[in-house]
Chains A and B, each alone.
Chain A
Amino acid sequence: MEEENKEAVISEIHRRIAEAFNVFDNESSKSVDVREVGTIIRSLGCFPSEAELHEMIAEVEEEEPTGYIRFEKFLPAMTKVLMERKFRPIPKDVLIQAFEVLDQEKKGYLEAEELKKYMTQEGEPFSQDEVEEMLSAALDNKENVIFYKDLVSKMTFEDL
């Protein structure tokens, strides 16, 4: 029975991966642009860092990188990731704690410039576009600051 269940679980995982992959496989060529792989992995519920992402891409790339990742190589690697539950989601409270670390004065919010500075200078820095986009979504129009507790609630997908 155990074996059967495991097989069923794996086959369902395979289907999920295939669906997500196919959304980006425009030519039905069973391959996707390497730049989309991060989106695919993340949409399956994983929260890798950029470094972890690059590692994984290196794993599934061709010997001589073509700019495309083939489904053949992607499937087993991704299955492993999901089975082992790698790149787990960040719990909401941990996330809020992270914001609180940045909010040294414990104001309950962050100034736009503050957040921008951290995001573009620390960790795995955002590009200009990324940080602009984040601010446009995060900024409270009236007060011109970021209420991060609200932001975390707004930007969390509750489903997986």
Chain B
Amino acid sequence: MRAALLIQRWYRQYVARLEMRRRCTWHIFQSIEYAGEQDQIKLYNFFGYLMDHFTPANRNLISHIFRENEICRDIEWERYFCYKNIEVPELYSGPHLSFPLTVSNVADLVEAFKNKQQLHTRYVLQLLLESWKLLRMLPNINQVSTCQTKEITICGDLHGHLEDLLLVFYKNGMPSVEKSYVFNGDFVDRGKDSIEILLILFAFMLLYPNNVHLNRGNHEDYIVNLRYGFTKEVLGKYRLHGKKILKLLQKIFSWLPLATVIDQKVLILHGGISDTTDLNIIAQADRHKYVSTLRPPKRRWVASGGNSTAGRHKVNGRMDNSLQRHCSLAYNSPLRSRYNFQSRSMQNFSSKVNLAVEEELKEQRRMAGLSQSYHDLRSSLSSDSDSDNYETYEDDSNEWKQVIIVDMLWSDPMPQDGCIPNEVRGGGCYWGPDVTEKVLRRHNLQLLIRSHECKQEGYEFCHNRKVLTIFSASNYYEVGSNRGAYIRLGPDLVPHFIQYQANRSTRELTLRQRYRGTFSLRALREQLFAHKSDLLYAFQDYDTDNTGWISLKHWATAVEAVLRLGLPWRVLRSQLVTTTQDGMLDYQGWLRELPITEPKTESLLETMYKQRSNLETIFRIIDSDHSGLISFEEFRQTWKLLSSHLKMEISDEAILDMAVSIDFNKDGSIDINEFMEAFRLVDRTMNLPSEPNHTKTDE
């Protein structure tokens, strides 16, 4: 019957449109996530810049940022983290732990967290200390055998999603002598219960050291934590002792093993491999030296243009080739060449180092007798001060090991053969099926299990089923974005998958709500706003007659050229541009409509906004006592350095003006949270979930 047919045709079209939006949402989140990680690396380039350009004037600030650890030896560390003086008050209603841990201790702990209780600082420190002691005895690579424990369960990224961990325990049973687990890194950041996940994992590890294995992820890194929420979470939940806990975790993370091998046949690690991966070398490395797997580039590397790594074929510097995978999302537009405004990006400062400045600096350093301490500054970043050998520029083998370790934690697989730097993430590499073949054969392995990338179904094979990605945080980007999964591996070493999805709300989402994609669009609008000036330049380039209008085709091309997110803009267009006339867009009007508050000093605020994540990270590093306050002078210096690094002219008055307009007049100190608050978007049309209420912490 014709009427029915018509309705069916129409409805199926509607569903297809929604499905397309849903898939785009995925790409949006992923692009922005990786662009954020790129930013993190750029931040490190900035630190490198700082180190190269400090003068006596800003020396204090910089050495403040890269402070040497005051605490030197292990004994002193133990004393510093002593929990014995911390009393647990009678009123405390959370779980009590005794050491060595018992099964009921750990069961109580899990139950308590399920009920949103918090573990008392004393027990946290105790638990962490015991964990540290254990981790220090573990090798870099855990060797596990299925003959001891019949079946092994492998979990991927959890990222603070406690409900997912609890779901896994519910479906699969908790770790025990009968039930072995491997947790493949990225336990923290992004989700709101990172510390609880850590405590549970460590508790089980202490209870069943032969059955629970933890691999380090790229987020088990205090510098990454500053940006992605773990630091904030701990400081919020443990106001008195948070910084101590964080400092202890800093060391603990560096002691996490790097990989696990099952039956000498299955290799499990967080990121992946590269053409230089050699398990024998890895086994011998001093893994705890790499407190953060991200470091400012060494002088040598800086000269060769950024984060390329010593000894590897450097990709030509042109982004096109290495962004292959990233850009495959977008049609390869011929407009790959850079606009002038791109020079404002943080990428190529290294090539512009002014010779005169160099000379000046050398002179200054020599006069101030600084050459020794400059050296010390660098080495204190990478090694614990309790080790005897400082890293030197010439210490090739250490650098080499670091490259290998960074690759293990940051790399991603790609469909094409070869091995190229991972410019999207800014760390590690992209490796191809040929590299998989090579490395697996080199070590007589049959399967590589890794995590690091969110997959819609929670897991995904690639490279002829030789590489398996497992991701255990469901609803990672937003509710409904993806399922989580875990693997069960028996003696036959054939992986079995179990998928799940934690429900954030019990209500069934209707069709439209599920596919609304509001959060991703908001994130995208934020990105657009952050690049407003650049977008205007790009649009004006197309508007040669200065009419104020451009075609939608030009809109799409310009937006991609500026944002470089590799997104399908023509597909997204209808959601981002709602008012057009005959296929033309009033671009200034559109830019004005991007929903943000009216800034006073537009370009300055816009730049700050774009840099806000970097700024926040820098602030938190400066605010080493985690008081939430930095001095106005520190702020000014930081901003000056950052803006000169970005090649922007900022006058002192401009900074002062802005400070006034954001109301910083609190005895010359700036409350970081207030400052960041100024950049928080308030979109009144959406009901945002409120911040989770932390019950008054028992400290």
Partner of A20, one of B20, B333, B415: B20
A156 to chain B: which residues have CB within 8 Å? Answer: 14
Check B24 for interface membership: any CB of A closer than 8 A: yes
Q: List 13 A-B contacts (CB under 8 A).
A: A19-B569, A27-B415, A28-B325, A42-B13, A43-B571, A90-B10, A95-B10, A119-B4, A124-B9, A125-B8, A136-B508, A157-B14, A157-B17
Decide yes or no whether A29 CB sits under 8 A from chain B: yes
Tell me whether B23 and A24 are in contact (CB under 8 A): yes
**Closest chain B residue to A158 by CB distance?**
B574
Closest-by-CB residue of A relative to B568 is A19
Chain B residue contacts of A105, Cβ below 8 A: none
- Which of A10-18, A54-62, A78-86 contacts the other chain? A10-18
Does A144 sit within 8 A of B, measured CB to CB?
no
How long is the Cα–Cα vector from A137 to B16 in the complex, in angstroms? 15
**Chain A contacts of B16 at CB under 8 A?**
38-39, 41-43
The docked-state distance in angstroms from the alpha carbon of A15 to that of B328 is 13
Contact yes or no, B11 A23, CB < 8 A: no
- A-B pairs, top 6 by smallest CB distance, nearest first, are A42-B16, A159-B574, A123-B5, A19-B568, A123-B4, A122-B4
Q: Does B19 contact A (CB under 8 A)?
A: yes
- How far, in angstroms, from A29 to B325 measured CA to CA in the complex? 10
Does B571 contact A20, Cβ atoms closer than 8 Å? Answer: yes
Contact B17 A42 (CB under 8 A): yes
Q: Are A99 and B7 in contact (CB under 8 A)?
A: yes
Interface residues of A in 35-69 (CB under 8 A from B): 38-43, 46-50
- CA–CA, A95 to B14, complex, Å? 13
Is there an interface contact between B568 and A12, defined as CB atoms closer than 8 Å? no
Say yes or no: B3 contacts A49, CB within 8 Å. Answer: no
Question: Which residue of the partner chain A has the closest CB to B416?
Answer: A28
Let me know if A1 is at the binding interface, CB within 8 A.
Answer: no
- Contact in complex: A12, B553 (CB < 8 Å): yes
Given contacts A18-B331, A28-B325, contact A122 B510 (CB under 8 A): no
Q: CB within 8 A of B11: which of A20, A155, A159? A: A155
**A134 contacts partner chain B, Cβ-Cβ < 8 Å:** yes
Q: Is B330 located at the chain interface by the 8 A CB criterion?
A: yes
Majority DSSP secondary structure for residues of B touching A: helix
A28-B5 in contact (CB<8A): no
Out of A25, A95, A159, which one reaches B6, CB within 8 Å? Answer: A95
B333 contacts across to A, CB distance below 8 A: 15
Contact yes or no, A23 B4, CB < 8 A: no
Chain B residue at minimal CB-CB distance from A25: B328
Docked Cα-Cα span, A86 to B9, in Å, equals 14
Are A43's CB and B6's CB within 8 A?
A: no
Q: Which residue of B lies closest to A9 (CB)?
A: B553
Cβ contact within 8 Å between B7 and A22: no
Contacting pair B568 A22 (CB below 8 A): yes
Interface string of A115-155 (1 = CB under 8 A from B): 00011001111100010011011000000000000000011
The answer to whether B688 has its CB under 8 Å from any CB of chain A is no
- Among A39, A40, A101, A154, the residue within 8 A (CB) of B3 is A101
Can you name 18 extra interface pairs (CB under 8 A) apart from A38-B12, A118-B1?
A15-B333, A15-B553, A15-B556, A18-B331, A22-B328, A22-B568, A24-B23, A27-B415, A38-B16, A40-B20, A47-B10, A50-B12, A98-B3, A101-B2, A118-B7, A122-B4, A123-B4, A137-B510
Q: How far is the CA of A126 from the CA of B325 in the complex (A)?
A: 38
Task: Say yes or no: is A77 at the interface (Cβ < 8 Å to chain B).
Answer: no
B352 on the interface (CB 8 Å rule)? no
A39-B20 contact in complex given A15-B331, A27-B462, A157-B574, C-beta closer than 8 Å: yes
Give the nearest-CB partner of B577 in chain A: A159
**Inside 8 A of A136's CB, which chain B residues have their CB?**
508, 510-511
Of residues A46, A133, A137, which shows the largest number of chain B Cβ atoms within 10 Å of its Cβ?
A: A137
Q: Are A102 and B8 in contact (CB under 8 A)?
A: no
* Cα separation A42 to B23 with both chains bound (whole Å): 14
For the complex, is B313 an interface residue (Cβ under 8 Å from A)? no
Contacts of A155 in B (CB 8 A): 10-11, 14
Chain B nearest Cβ from A82, distance in angstroms: 12
Q: Which of A15, A20, A133, A154 has the most CB of B within 10 A?
A: A15
Residue of A nearest to B11 (CB): A134
A41 vs B20: C-alpha distance in the bound complex, in angstroms?
10
Evaluate contact between B3 and A102: CB separation under 8 angstroms. Answer: yes
**Candidates A20, A47, A119; contact of B568 at CB < 8 Å:** A20
Q: Write out the residue numbers on chain B whose beta carbons fall within 8 Å of the beta carbon of A25.
A: 328
Query: How far does the alpha carbon of A104 sit from the alpha carbon of B415 in the complex, in Å?
Result: 56
Chain A residues lying within 8 Å of B2, measured Cβ to Cβ, are 98, 101, 123
Query: B626: CB under 8 A from chain A?
Result: no
Q: Is the pair B23, A23 in contact by a Cβ cutoff of 8 Å?
A: yes
A94 in contact with B6 given A28-B325, A43-B20 (CB within 8 Å): yes
A55 to B12, CA, bound (A): 17
Given contacts A15-B570, A23-B20, A43-B17, contact A119 B7 (CB under 8 A): yes
Task: Give every chain A residue within 8 A of B240 (Cβ-Cβ).
Answer: none
Q: Are A123 and B568 in touch, CB under 8 angstroms?
A: no
Q: Which residues of B contact A126 (CB under 8 A)?
A: 8, 11
Q: Bound complex: CA of A133 vs CA of B9, how far in Å?
A: 15
Contact A90-B325, Cβ < 8 Å, known A15-B570, A27-B462, A137-B512? no
Interface 1/0 per residue, B1-42 and A, CB below 8 Å? 111111111111111110110011001000000000000000
